[in-house]
């Protein structure tokens, strides 16, 4: 059986500049990959566990992993990393997420960008 280190496939060009989401909206980040044996896949948010597993979930099927961000909140802003690792090596990918929300602190409503 042949082995190959994990390698990223073609990802959306929009990930390079980061994603800007409106509070309450949803998106899916899709990352295709190769590797033999099938790499272990780990998603992290700012180097930690993914926040709120009821709204933010990761799923991996053969050669593609997805991160679903449902009804994003301001606190979800940050860097999401995926690590692909098998006995032959490791590959990583990161995407920055900004969340634009309404700030209720002021009498008028302003758009505010939150990023880490």
Give the pLDDT of residue 114. Answer: 44
Q: pTM (2 decimals)?
A: 0.84
pLDDT, averaged per 10 consecutive residues of the chain (116 residues), comes to 92 92 95 96 97 95 96 95 97 96 47 44
* 108 token code pair: 């008028």
Element (H, E) at 17: helix 14-17
The pLDDT value given to residue 102: 66
For the beta carbon of residue 72, count every other beta carbon within 10 angstroms.
24
Residue 57 tokens, joined: 């979930």
- Alpha-carbon torsion (78, 79, 80, 86), positive or negative: negative
Q: What is the pLDDT of residue 85?
A: 98
3.20.20.70, 2.60.40.10, 3.40.50.1370, 3.40.50.880: which CATH number matches 4-114?
2.60.40.10
What is residue 42's predicted lDDT score, i.e. its pLDDT?
A: 97
CA dist., res. 77 & res. 95, Å (int)? 11
Question: How confident is the model at residue 101, as a pLDDT?
Answer: 83
Element (H, E) at 28: strand 27-36
């Amino acid at each position: 059986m042949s082995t190959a280190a994990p390698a990223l496939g073609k990802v959306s060009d929009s990930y390079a500049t980061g994603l800007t989401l409106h509070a309450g909206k949803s998106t899916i980040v899709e990352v295709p990959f190769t590797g033999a044996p099938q790499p272990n896949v780990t998603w992290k948010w700012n180097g930690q566990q993914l926040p709120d597993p009821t709204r933010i979930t990761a799923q991996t099927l053969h050669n593609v992993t997805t991160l679903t961000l449902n009804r994003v909140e301001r606190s979800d802003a940050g860097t999401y990393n995926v690590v692909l690792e098998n006995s032959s090596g490791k590959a990583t990918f990161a995407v920055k997420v900004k969340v634009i929300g309404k700030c209720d602190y002021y009498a008028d409503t302003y758009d505010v960008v939150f990023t880490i």
